[in-house]
Structure 1
Amino acid sequence: MASNSELATKFKIVSDEAIKALKGNGSIEREDVLREARRVVQQLQAPVDYALRMVWAPVELAAAATACEMGIFSSLAHGNKPMTTEEIARSSKGGDVLLVQRIIQALAAHGLVDQTDERHYLANDITRDFTTPGRHGSAMTQMFSMRAYSALPWFLRKNGYKSPASLRECCWQEVYEGDGTIWEWMKEYPEMGRYFNDYMAAARPYTSSALGEEFPFGRLFEGSKKDDVVFVDVGGGHGHQAVSLRKSFPKERGRFILQDLPQVVDGKVLDDVEVMAHDMMKEQPVKGARAYYFRGVLHDHDDPVCRDFLQQIVKVMSRDSRLLVHDVIIDDFMPSVQSVRQDLGLMCLFAGRERTKAQMKALLESVGLAVVETYKAGPEKWSITEARLS
């Protein structure tokens, strides 16, 4: 049997090999190694180690968000060389050397920047990632969302430990006074809305590969003609998914339509994708399309609300039409950390939910649909649930 020292050496060798081979790629093998690495860390930790890491995690997020706001990440990334605290402070908001020192040492301790010696700090890949609008937006979005997360134990105690079912009666209202929703609050505070939009735009590459690789659209669009509507992106926001898929199917294969609320799509022009203002709670104007696609829409709502807008789709589907729901599916065994994080986060912010395969099936069947197949590109990826008229 190998000694503890020998085991530690072997582990380091294998770990270094895995990092060299897999870092930065989106392979299934990389996801498998990450899951195993998380399991190893959790099993090796003493309970107190795990508890300390978990309960102090909000402070790490607060330090990262503050560094984004102050420009500390940008200062380091643009300097492209080891910098002292004083140098970082000169190019950061406020210019307070003591404050910068306290933030930068927290960042270094958590691996968000590298410390090269007692006085100097250097940007790494994580530092540079935090200079992007998407990462800045994600940090600030989680900061204002964290107030709602913190209300969860008290909200559930007050309501008798029942899952929230209304957008106007969830944890959000516990900390942001009144019955206003998170969407209304972001309209009142447009800077926060911009952070959220930057976060959402950047989140897509991390949760999806190219849409055409995740579902057999060629089969669904088979025999289509130029005037046929083959793809309707309902509630599709800026149209990233429609534009991505359009590149794989020329105009001769049919029409693509992006639908969202007027305030989202007014003035928007996309290459070879029609833009249509539409409220999904109202009658669907496009009838008999090959695919009605919802990405990240159902998970914002509890079942009764989903049934309201899904029924509008069911009314206009033909026998050849398919409903495609692109959301997280929570695995019944060993679900991913991110899937359950998102589930509880959605519950706090919107009374929304991520669903298991059985819960998604039950929801779709309740409006007269039958699940054909569920497609998943990888362990940490979102799933596409295909459904037809039953």
Structure 2
Amino acid sequence: MGSSNGTSNGTGQVFANGKNIDVEKIAVSANLPAQIPALLEQLNADGIGYTITDTEARLKLLETARSLVYALETPREAIIRHCWSESTSYAALETGVDVRLFQALGTDDTPKSVAKLAETTGVDPALLSRLMKHLAAMGAVVETGSDEYAPNGFSKTLTEERYSDAFPLMTSRFTQGIIALPAFFKKNNYRNPTSPTNTAFQMGYNTDMGFFGHIQQEPITAKQFNNHMGVYAQGRPRWMDPGFYPVQEQLIDGAAIGEKDVLLVDVGGSFGHDLSDFRRKWPNAPGKLVLQDLPEVVVSVKEAHSSIEVMAHDFFKEQPVKGARAYYMHSVLHDWPDDVCQKILANLVAAMEPGYSKLLVNENVVPSTGAYWETTSLDMIMMEIGSGERTEHQWHSLLESAGLKIAKIWSAQRGVESLIECELA
């Protein structure tokens, strides 16, 4: 177990910087023992402040509990968790989704036997018994007796397709690309991926087509992807919420916006979740809202608010709406490397009115320290398609290269996308 600054004597001991380190002892000891007393005190303090309705307090308690688990578990336990539990629980969960196990388990808190669940799902009772034991061990269901189980909040949520779609989506269009990342890095001499045409996704799925090409050609994948993105945004602060971005002061006040004027253009806005949410929260905001996406996407938009105009548009082409008060993009630019983003931005810059129009970019801004695990995980997922999340410095560099300047970056909560407010330079 040699390294650049240490050597092994073959007995589990490593000599590093003149010190004898017993790796075998470390492997079965708490990972960060010195942090445990302080984390226990913090857990108690956070627990006192916790209430069911206080989201911020709940998240704080959850983060402390997670840090305590990481400090308490041994390196051996961490290895087994990464290598065994996460992949196998995923396999059990996706199987459960496929056979409608969670619908069979129900939402009424009544325990059900494996025999009854096997009868409902058509799964071999011996197989289902093994799957259920692992799902219970991983906290996905509640074990109430021998081969008897009851639902919890997680399993109840999976009874609805918009939540359970995440599992087949990841397997069919993400997982193989993620697994291929180490081989892809090695093949490309460990260079940072920046090409949408040479990706781990293509290697993992043995295809010449990019991820978004598959989405455009596969209705099931498109549905699952949009469901998953809707769930991802659920329960998180939105930029138009009070205390996040001051909509009234920044967008409405001081701007003469009539009924026929466009207040906001959602570029690449999918099915219009963001605009619908904006209209619901700001019912009296003046002007029109315009939803833009590819023709095959917007054709499925149903029951849009009367103030929302649905428009087929490819953001790689000239922006047809000129001089809108604001152009908005949610998790669009993280899909593409800088050179491609510059082409997208050029079309928006050309449509913006100097001194009036704004560009609102709703994206992660990765902090220099203390990045949240959801953000770093998403960065790894985007890495497989040749793009990624960006730091504040990287956002400045990209946007300024396109003729824009950042007026302010508005943020609400750790791990939640910021709103980057831009103007023409």
TM-score when normalising by structure 1: 0.91
Whether 2:398 is the aligned partner of 1:370: answer no
Whether 2:326 is the aligned partner of 1:326: answer no
Matches within 5 A, 1:1-390: 18=47, 21-23=50-52, 25=53, 27-56=55-84, 57-78=86-107, 80-92=109-121, 94-144=122-172, 145-209=174-238, 211-213=240-242, 214-219=244-249, 220-222=251-253, 223=255, 224-250=257-283, 253-266=286-299, 268=301, 269-271=303-305, 272-318=307-353, 319-348=355-384, 350-390=385-425
Q: Distance in 2 between matches of 1:389 and 1:124?
A: 50
- CA deviation after TM superposition for structure 1 residue 207, in Å: 4.3
More divergent stretch after superposition (220-229 vs 290-299): 220-229
Amino acid at match of 1:218: Q
Identity across matched positions, percent: 30
- CA deviation after TM superposition for structure 1 residue 16, in Å: 11
- CA deviation after TM superposition for structure 1 residue 190, in Å: 3.5
- CA deviation after TM superposition for structure 1 residue 202, in Å: 2.0
**386 and 210 in structure 1: CA distance in 2 versus 1, 3 angstrom threshold:** closer
**19 and 58 in structure 1: CA distance in 2 versus 1, 3 angstrom threshold:** farther
1:207 and 1:380 in contact (8 A); partners too: no
Structure 2 counterpart SS, 1:284: coil
2:93 and 2:135 in contact (8 A); partners too: yes
1:258 and 1:274 in contact (8 A); partners too: yes
1:226 and 1:251 in contact (8 A); partners too: no
Question: Deviation digits for residues 199-228 of structure 1, max 9, x if unmatched?
Answer: 122222144436343321112122432222
More divergent stretch after superposition (195-204 vs 171-180): 195-204
The unaligned stretches of length 5 or more in structure 1 are 1-6
2:326 and 2:358 in contact (8 A); partners too: yes
- CA deviation after TM superposition for structure 1 residue 243, in Å: 1.1
More divergent stretch after superposition (374-383 vs 267-276): 267-276
Question: Deviation digits for residues 335-376 of structure 1, max 9, x if unmatched?
Answer: 00010000010111x212101111111111111111111111
Amino acid at match of 2:261: D
Q: Distance in 2 between matches of 1:67 and 1:366?
A: 48
- CA deviation after TM superposition for structure 1 residue 60, in Å: 1.2
Q: Distance in 2 between matches of 1:20 and 1:76?
A: 34
1:31 and 1:379 in contact (8 A); partners too: no
More divergent stretch after superposition (190-199 vs 100-109): 190-199
2:262 and 2:289 in contact (8 A); partners too: yes
Amino acid at match of 1:239: G
2:177 and 2:204 in contact (8 A); partners too: yes
1:257 and 1:275 in contact (8 A); partners too: yes
In structure 1, the partner of 2:18 is: none
**65 and 35 in structure 1: CA distance in 2 versus 1, 3 angstrom threshold:** same
1:134 and 1:203 in contact (8 A); partners too: no
**206 and 142 in structure 1: CA distance in 2 versus 1, 3 angstrom threshold:** farther
**74 and 12 in structure 1: CA distance in 2 versus 1, 3 angstrom threshold:** farther
More divergent stretch after superposition (212-221 vs 169-178): 212-221
Q: Distance in 2 between matches of 1:200 and 1:37?
A: 27
Amino acid at match of 2:344: F
Relative CO higher for 1 or 2, CA cutoff 8 Å, sep ≥ 6? 1
More divergent stretch after superposition (131-140 vs 319-328): 131-140
Q: Distance in 2 between matches of 1:255 and 1:274?
A: 7
Q: Distance in 1 between matches of 2:144 and 2:300?
A: 49
Q: Distance in 1 between matches of 2:272 and 2:318?
A: 21
**80 and 43 in structure 1: CA distance in 2 versus 1, 3 angstrom threshold:** closer
- CA deviation after TM superposition for structure 1 residue 79, in Å: 5.9
Structure 2 counterpart SS, 1:40: helix
- CA deviation after TM superposition for structure 1 residue 21, in Å: 3.6
Task: Tell me how many residue pairs correspond in the alignment.
Answer: 381
Q: Which is higher, the Rg of structure 1 or of structure 2?
A: 2
Question: Deviation digits for residues 126-177 of structure 1, max 9, x if unmatched?
Answer: 1111222122111112223111111001001001111222222100111222
**208 and 364 in structure 1: CA distance in 2 versus 1, 3 angstrom threshold:** same
Q: Which has the higher helix share?
A: 1
Q: Distance in 2 between matches of 1:89 and 1:113?
A: 16
In structure 2, the partner of 1:4 is: none
> Over the residues paired in the alignment, what is the CA RMSD in angstroms?
2.5
- CA deviation after TM superposition for structure 1 residue 124, in Å: 0.7
The unaligned stretches of length 5 or more in structure 2 are 1-35
More divergent stretch after superposition (187-196 vs 109-118): 187-196
1:32 and 1:379 in contact (8 A); partners too: no
1:134 and 1:200 in contact (8 A); partners too: no
In structure 2, the partner of 1:3 is: none
